[in-house]
Chains A and B, each alone.
Chain A
Amino acid sequence: MKPRSFDYVRVKSLAEAVIALARHGTEAKIIAGGQSLVPLLNMRMASPAILVDINALAELRGISLEGGSLRIGALVRQAEAEGSVEIAKHAPLIAKALPYIGHFAIRNRGTIGGSIALADPAAELPACLLALGGEVEIEGAKGARTVKADDFFKDLYETALGPGDVLIAIRIPVPSKDMRFGFSELARRHGDFAMAGLAACRDGKSARLAFFGVGSTPLRAKKAEAALAKGSLEEAVAVLDHDLDPPDDIHSSGKVKLHLAKTLLRRIAPELAA
């Protein structure tokens, strides 16, 4: 199908973006890579009055080390991130996850910030951000703020971003040498949305497990994390029954998804071992 009519503005500065968003409120949508938004436009599941195109904003590009964090600009394309030496070195979990996102032609266009801002419950990057304990930098009408990943993902496609906000960058704490990372997902075909997925990291005893595709948002499995901290994989797998309650969807029942989540935890456990 073809999209409904909408207006379009390509903003030249962040200030201009914030003004345009404030003027149009919920009638406006930001377009970055457009790899999730344009399908919704084409299918007429979204019909904004105006698209605010942020692709010209140089300040949203670039990958840099700042203090103890790796800062990834919102407009960094997923393919660019895949080729980034800094991400491979300082955010290996993201490097592991990137090849699972769609197909290369999608990653050539899709952005890091777009994936986080949309917060599809089956998407890879939101779960990585949550597992890594990262942060999101936001610019809005009331100025700049930073939100922790644990507080960012609110509900199905709902985040801490308000209608006037622009996601500027994500920040990932640079890991210690002993940090271990694991990533895996199960999908019907490579590039499809995951039926269930797991992004995880472990530093010494302390582990962070972020499951995706099994709820409305990426989800920490805190009981399983505690069990892993005690050194028991079997207990961690068992208590996933209490951490997760996946709903049924078109791919599978919630029961199957829970089984897949357990399989994923067993599968990546060796990667998390020191």
Chain B
Amino acid sequence: MSAHDISLTVNGEAVREAVEPRRTLVDFLREDLGLTGSHVGCEHGVCGACTVRVDGAVVRGCLVLAVQCDGARVETIEGVSDSGAIADLQNAFEKRNALQCGYCTPGMLLAAEELLAAGGTPGREKIREHISGNYCRCTGYEAIVDAIEAVVQARGGRK
């Protein structure tokens, strides 16, 4: 099948590439752009390892096709991390041992940041519900919830 030209911004940089329609967004980011911070896990939308932002909303990178992102604004863990926007969240994860192998961490951070960015002071149950679509096979989640809760408190409901 013929490749389609797409133009989009990835972490603020303009990108123009030709992609096969069957290329998922996460494979495009990893294989074509070398942005390997987004991970490939289940490839059917269950595990959350491939979490990225498209036009400001957190989505599954394995359930969006790259060809659909023509004109879109895509952000990955690399861009969000480099911007310093989630430095407090990253520090909290480190401090609380909220990761071991780290495979789920980029997705977990982006998922958590969406909850934090909505403002308010979500409790542990709300935090658990919000990360329910992101699997961690190491930590048992307790430390992750601790870390997110600490940032909720530290940010004090600020958006």
Contact of B22 (CB < 8 Å), options: A5, A103, A106: A5
**B44: CB under 8 A from chain A?**
yes
**A133: chain B residues within 8 A (beta carbon):** none
A104 touches B58 (CB 8 A): yes
B65 touches A191 (CB 8 A): no
**A35: chain B residues within 8 A (beta carbon):** 45, 60, 63
Which A residues, 1 to 20, have Cβ-Cβ distances below 8 Å to chain B?
1-8, 10
What count of chain B residues pass the 8 Å CB interface test? 32
**A109: CB under 8 A from chain B?**
yes
**Closest approach, in angstroms, between the C-beta of B108 and any C-beta of chain A?**
12
Contact of A55 (CB < 8 Å), options: B1, B68, B133: B68
Known interface pairs A10-B70, A39-B45, A103-B132; A5-B20 also in contact (CB < 8 Å): yes
**A118: CB under 8 A from chain B?**
no
What string of 1s and 0s marks CB contacts (under 8 Å) between B118-159 and chain A?
000000000001101110000000000000000000000000
**A106: chain B residues within 8 A (beta carbon):** 45, 60, 63, 133
**B44: chain A residues within 8 A (beta carbon):** 39, 42-43
**B77: CB under 8 A from chain A?**
no
**B24: CB under 8 A from chain A?**
yes
Known interface pairs A8-B4, A10-B70, A34-B64; A105-B22 also in contact (CB < 8 Å): no
Which A residues, 40 to 90, have Cβ-Cβ distances below 8 Å to chain B?
41-43, 51, 53, 55, 79
**B129: chain A residues within 8 A (beta carbon):** 190
**B24: chain A residues within 8 A (beta carbon):** 2-3, 38, 42
B60 touches A109 (CB 8 A): yes
**B67: chain A residues within 8 A (beta carbon):** 8, 10
**B134: chain A residues within 8 A (beta carbon):** 103
**B35: CB under 8 A from chain A?**
no
**A34: chain B residues within 8 A (beta carbon):** 63-65, 68
**B65: chain A residues within 8 A (beta carbon):** 8, 31, 34, 38, 51
B57 touches A109 (CB 8 A): yes
**Closest approach, in angstroms, between the C-beta of B52 and any C-beta of chain A?**
10
Known interface pairs A106-B45, A191-B132; A3-B22 also in contact (CB < 8 Å): yes
CA A5 to CA B22, docked complex, whole Å: 6
CA A103 to CA B27, docked complex, whole Å: 22
**B86: CB under 8 A from chain A?**
no
**A7: chain B residues within 8 A (beta carbon):** 1-2, 21
Can you give 11 A-B contacts (C-beta < 8 A)? A4-B22, A10-B70, A34-B63, A34-B68, A35-B60, A53-B68, A103-B132, A104-B130, A106-B63, A108-B57, A108-B59
Having A4-B22, A39-B44, one finds 6 other A-B pairs with CB under 8 Å, namely A5-B22, A79-B57, A104-B58, A104-B114, A105-B51, A105-B58
